[in-house]
């Protein structure tokens, strides 16, 4: 290089990448909703009935999204594995129900107590019930965290799981407070509609309230996650000892994250009580709730609020869709069995003909086309996945036909459990190929 020479380094603009995770998330939710709508139409449901059903799906999915956001704050951002989600969920639901319900004295018929009644009769507004639920759950989480956060991760999970189980037993036996095994009924809706369209209007109201609350907390949590407080939480998750070396009181930060996550779980419990209008300790707050929230955050993507919300809508969508299909599929297969069998046979014949054409005829007529096809199959993952998916669907079709032929109700009775099997397979695939979840956490790089 001479002294007078000058060089110019041109920087290429970064090539925009396709957000495949977001596209997959949107298509998955749209597919669940579309399948549910089609099932309703084929079953003869009215437009208003289908919309009411979709409103119920959206309202429960929002509740699970709030639960997932609380757990994501504890585990996804801070690394605190909470196995007692159902317990904080229960506290929020019962506190809100007791606060907003009317008096409910015991019911005795012929000297035999039919309903033990429950603590309540305050008839407070819904907003007051929600605030009390969040405060009660958050305070309980802070009290539990004071000794539990000093434990290692596995012992923390055991301690919180034991807390949730004990709480469920107390709710089942404190009949004068919680209504016992029967639970609390008659929880008022936000607005009391009395017309024939009351179910539809109630669904719209609850979805609107839930959506506004969810949007508010998404914005708050996103702001908190990007603040210095959120950066400390992520530092604790990655390396707590290094964070302590930088002068941060990690115990206080973990306590704050655990309490705030518990408050969000209490908020979800309050929304659940208002949405269903009744709560009971055994059916609504079983340990399976905790497992479901884990799966939602793992599938969606931990350390990522968008992932937690997507996971909630997806995993609960499987359950909702299985309920929609349970009663319709057996009768549909019984009526359309000949057509389904013909369709499967035609698909198999077409696949065989195509395979023969590619492997044999293409070798003599269009060798270059055959070579391109085989090269695409070898080098492109989507091509191999499409072939595998086609054979899997083809095989499943025959399995369903044989089940319907030999046990007419077998499919309808097992759809709900097939959902669990499908979720298990999905988890295995994600752990192998995308352990960070569908919507992975955004990696932050210092510049």
Tokens standing for 399?
């399995």
Angle (CA) 74-318-36 rounded to 5° is 135
pLDDT at 1: 47
- pLDDT score of 423: 82
Per-residue pLDDT tens, the chain, 447 aa: give them.
Answer: 445 454 454 455 555 566 667 787 888 898 888 888 887 887 777 889 889 999 999 999 999 999 999 999 999 999 999 999 999 999 999 999 999 998 888 888 877 877 888 888 888 999 999 999 999 999 999 999 999 888 777 788 889 999 999 999 999 999 889 988 889 988 999 988 888 888 899 999 999 999 999 999 999 999 999 999 999 999 999 999 999 999 999 999 999 999 999 999 999 999 999 999 999 998 789 888 999 999 999 999 999 899 999 999 999 998 898 887 776 666 555 555 566 666 666 666 666 666 666 666 555 555 566 566 666 666 666 666 666 666 666 666 666 566 555 554 555 666 666 777 778 888 888 888 888 888 888 776 555
What is the reported pLDDT for 412? 60
Tell me the whole-structure pTM to 2 decimals: 0.81
Domains and CATH numbers, the chain: 47-326 (1.10.3470), 329-408 (no CATH)
Which pair of tokens denotes residue 271?
A: 């929304």
């Amino acid at each position: 290089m001479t002294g007078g020479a000058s060089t110019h380094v041109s920087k290429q603009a970064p090539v925009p990448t396709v957000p495949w995770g977001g596209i997959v998330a949107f298509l998955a939710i749209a597919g669940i909703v579309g399948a549910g709508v089609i099932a309703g139409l084929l079953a003869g449901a009215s437009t208003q009935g289908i919309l009411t059903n979709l409103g119920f799906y959206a309202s429960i999915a929002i509740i699970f999204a709030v639960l997932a956001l609380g757990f994501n704050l504890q585990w996804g951002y801070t690394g605190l594995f909470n196995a007692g989600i159902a317990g904080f969920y229960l506290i929020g639901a019962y506190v809100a129900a007791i606060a907003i319900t009317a008096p409910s004295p015991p019911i005795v018929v012929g000297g035999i107590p039919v309903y033990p009644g429950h603590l309540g009769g305050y008839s407070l507004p819904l907003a007051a019930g929600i605030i009390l639920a969040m405060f009660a759950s958050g305070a309980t989480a802070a009290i539990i965290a004071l000794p539990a956060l000093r434990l290692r991760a596995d012992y923390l999970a055991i301690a919180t799981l034991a807390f949730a189980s004990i709480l469920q037993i107390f709710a089942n036996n404190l009949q004068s407070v919680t209504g016992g095994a029967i639970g609390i009924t008659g929880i008022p809706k936000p607005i009391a509609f009395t017309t024939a369209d009351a179910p539809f209007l109630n669904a719209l109201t609850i979805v609107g309230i839930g959506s506004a609350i969810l949007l508010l907390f998404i914005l708050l949590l996103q702001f908190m996650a990007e603040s210095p407080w959120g950066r400390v939480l992520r530092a604790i998750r990655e390396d707590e000892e290094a964070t302590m070396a930088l002068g941060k009181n990690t115990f206080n930060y973990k306590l704050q994250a655990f309490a705030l996550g518990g408050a969000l779980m209490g908020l979800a419990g309050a929304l659940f009580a208002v949405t269903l209008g009744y709560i009971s300790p055994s059916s609504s707050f079983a340990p399976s709730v905790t497992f479901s929230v884990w799966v939602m955050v793992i599938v969606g993507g931990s350390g990522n609020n968008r992932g937690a919300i997507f996971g909630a809508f997806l995993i609960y969508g499987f359950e909702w869709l299985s309920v929609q299909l349970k009663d319709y599929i057996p009768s549909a297969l019984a009526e359309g069995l000949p057509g389904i069998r013909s369709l499967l046979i035609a698909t198999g014949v077409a696949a065989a003909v195509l395979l023969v054409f590619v492997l044999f005829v293409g070798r003599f007529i269009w060798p270059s086309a055959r070579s391109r096809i085989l090269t695409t199959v070898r080098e492109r993952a989507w091509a191999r996945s499409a072939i595998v998916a086609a054979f899997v669907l083809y095989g499943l079709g025959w399995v369903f036909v044989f089940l319907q032929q030999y046990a007419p109700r077998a499919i309808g009775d097992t759809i709900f459990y097939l959902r669990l099997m499908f979720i298990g397979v999905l988890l295995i695939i994600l752990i192998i190929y995308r352990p960070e979840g569908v919507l992975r956490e955004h990696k932050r790089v210092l510049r």
